[in-house]
Amino acid sequence: MMTQTSQRWFDSVRATTKDLLAIPSVSPSADGENRCAEKIAELLTTGRDSLRPVFWDTGDGRKSVACLLKSRHPRNTGKTIVLMSHFDTVGVDDFARFGNTSIAFDPDALAKEMRASLEAKMKTGGLEASEKSAFEALRSGEWMFGRGSVDMKSGVAINIELMREFARPLGNGQRLIDNLAGNLLFLSCPDEETESAGILSAVPELLKHRDAENLTYLGMVNTDYTAPRDADASARYIYSGTIGKLLPSFYILGVRTHVGEIFRGVDAAHIAAELVSRINLNPEWVDVWRGELGGEKITEVAPPPVALQMRDLKPSYNVETAGDAFVYVNWLTLTITPEQALEKMKTAASAALASALQRIEAAFAEFEARGGQAVPPPVRTPNVLDYASLFREAQARWEAANQTGQFTGWLASKAEEFKSLAGDGRELSRMIVAELARVAQLSGPAVIAFFSPPYYPSVSPRENELMHALKFALARQDQPIQFRGFYPYISDLSYVRLDDGIEVDSVKKNMPLFDLRGAAHALFYALDSAKWDDIRALDCPVVNLGPFGSDAHGLHERVHMPYSFESVPQIIFETIHQALERN
């Protein structure tokens, strides 16, 4: 239900959302993302002389937008709330069915075309469940459709309008922020949808800003999107942590053979299939967190892992079995550390290798029992090792064969060589592992377990000053909003705090691109030891309180305007007041 105080936000947030939607900022696109950054700066400053945004370079041709609004209150202790967002989106190829993909950035034209399309389909064959939901949303008039409408141009718009409101002149040289004993820092980044280069490059800038301006960060209020968690579409959520993500990866070496002598070899694709069958949707890999939040006991359960890629590496057709294969898996985490994850990965790899070899033996026995003739399968010694072990073996052999130069320098040059052939950081990682397996003279059957980028650490829920202020603000709302522990989608919040117990030594040692110097590293992944030190030093509490919508990244992406454009900015506004007044 809309309250009188919250109605003041609707028109401005809606208009700003449409302004931002009109700019295609599909990641990674330096041109589009930079144009969106410039528009954000323009929207912040129009009519607000005291807002002076700056651009922070990401190091790859793009830029984040930051804007500090300092209070002139005599008791300003430097406590600062960061309003955080990202302005990049995913692609729009699906919208080609409406004649032109650019319609994805025009919510009015899109709604008209989408409604006509759905009405026509209703007359011919009926609508699927997702289409029925979209059609009802169109009929209600309460939803804005378009790419980035909920993820997350509306979240950026909320933060822009909050900054503009707190910078509003009150007369006598005073602004609304000057009534509070603290500050606001606006931060909006590119690249959240790909490698999070925006926030990773912003972390050291946040530390510099903190020191230069004598700030104390009370916390990050991220306005990334929220969505239904179950069949109850009326529920609204606020999160005080964020889910993590690992990308377990496996380079698999088989033993090539002619298909006419199938028992002489070991098919790498077979090993890959055995591996995926053990990991995909495995309940034993599901991460569970139990804790207390706001005086209530909460249990959070992460989704099970799923393979994102499984393929052999044969370049073309021939009658030879696959000699090598590559698998990587999406694994969302709450409490599992990289060290624990690596042990599970190696256990699964060992089981997959054993199963593949047992299958060969059993198949040969059946073949022979039926009168088939073939040389018995050789006795094989399966080998499972992690990247750190492979690295040591390859380094020892390389240094024994090369009297000059450094192994790490040679590896960096190899990465540069592979860079033009690799499509992304996952492929480059795999190529590095394959090269080290060659140098180490590793024979199949073998599996090397390692981590591909990206790695997002989980951030556990915590009680803090920001949370207490938020609870006060929620008590003044006339609609139920649920506190949950972990934001369930990958977010930039993973890079503003490292929890105790989240040690990254296993990631450093077992991620080929970690700390790899040179352009290949800069192009594909931004994590290195210095970044981790900065994240730990930032140590910022997090809250995600964003717009509510449906079908993010999908054709029917939409944001619910009454809640998102009215309630959310009001809740954040009152949270800021409560948190900074108490100082």
The pLDDT tens digits for 335-363 are 999 999 999 999 999 999 999 999 999 99
Domains 7-243+458-497+540-581 and 248-451 equal at CATH topology level: no
User: Nearest-CA neighbor of 152 among 544, 576, 581?
Assistant: 544
**Whether the predicted pLDDT of 83 surpasses 90:** yes
Identify the pLDDT of residue 365. 95
Burial class (CB within 10 angstroms; exposed 0-12, middle 13-18, buried 19+) of 291: middle
Whole-prediction pTM: 0.92
Widest CA span in the chain:
100
Identify the pLDDT of residue 525. 57
Identify the pLDDT of residue 4. 41
What residue type is assigned to position 504 of the chain? V
Identify the pLDDT of residue 517. 60
**Whether the predicted pLDDT of 522 surpasses 60:** no
H/E stretch holding 246: strand 244-246
Identify the pLDDT of residue 172. 87
Kindly report, residue by residue over 102-113, the tens digit of the pLDDT: 999 999 999 999
**Whether the predicted pLDDT of 274 surpasses 60:** yes
Contacts of 442 (CB under 8 A, 6+ apart): 253, 383, 390, 393, 448
The encoded tokens of residue 519 equal 């352009």
Question: Before 152, cis peptide (omega within 30)?
Answer: yes
Q: How far apart are CA 412 and CA 513, in angstroms?
A: 10
Domain residue ranges of the chain, discontinuous segments joined by + = 7-243+458-497+540-581, 248-451
Which of 103-117, 135-149, 492-506 shows the lowest mean pLDDT across its residues?
A: 492-506
Residue 1 — pLDDT band, cuts 50, 70, 90? very low
CB 549 within 8 A of CB 444: no
Kindly report, residue by residue over 162-196, the tens digit of the pLDDT: 999 999 999 888 999 999 999 999 999 999 998 89
CB 493 within 8 A of CB 152: no
**Whether the predicted pLDDT of 136 surpasses 70:** yes
Residue 583 — pLDDT band, cuts 50, 70, 90? low
Q: How far apart are CA 37 and CA 55, in angstroms?
A: 8
Identify the pLDDT of residue 225. 96
Residue 2 — pLDDT band, cuts 50, 70, 90? very low
Q: How far apart are CA 57 and CA 54, in angstroms?
A: 10
**Whether the predicted pLDDT of 451 surpasses 60:** yes
Identify the pLDDT of residue 373. 87
**Whether the predicted pLDDT of 148 surpasses 90:** yes
Residue 518 — pLDDT band, cuts 50, 70, 90? low
Looking at CATH, the fold of the domain delimited by 248-451 is given as Alpha-Beta Plaits (3.30.70)
- In this prediction, what percent of the chain has a pLDDT beyond 90? 80
Identify the pLDDT of residue 205. 97
Kindly report, residue by residue over 234-256, the tens digit of the pLDDT: 889 999 999 999 999 999 999 99
What residue type is assigned to position 259 of the chain? V
**Average pLDDT value for residue range 489-502:** 90
Identify the pLDDT of residue 363. 94
Identify the pLDDT of residue 3. 40
Looking at CATH, the fold of the domain delimited by 7-243+458-497+540-581 is given as Aminopeptidase (3.40.630)
CB 483 within 8 A of CB 238: yes
Which of 5-14, 155-164, 375-384 shows the lowest mean pLDDT across its residues?
A: 5-14
Output 403 or 192, whichever has higher pLDDT. 192
Q: Which residues of 122-137 are buried (b: 16+ CB within 10 A; e: fewer)?
A: eeeeeeeeebebbbeb
**Whether the predicted pLDDT of 540 surpasses 60:** yes
**Average pLDDT value for residue range 469-479:** 85
Tell me the CB-side half-sphere exposure of residue 469, using CA atoms within 13 A.
Answer: 23
Tell me which DSSP letter residue 180 carries. Answer: S
What residue type is assigned to position 338 of the chain? P
pLDDT, the chain, mean: 92
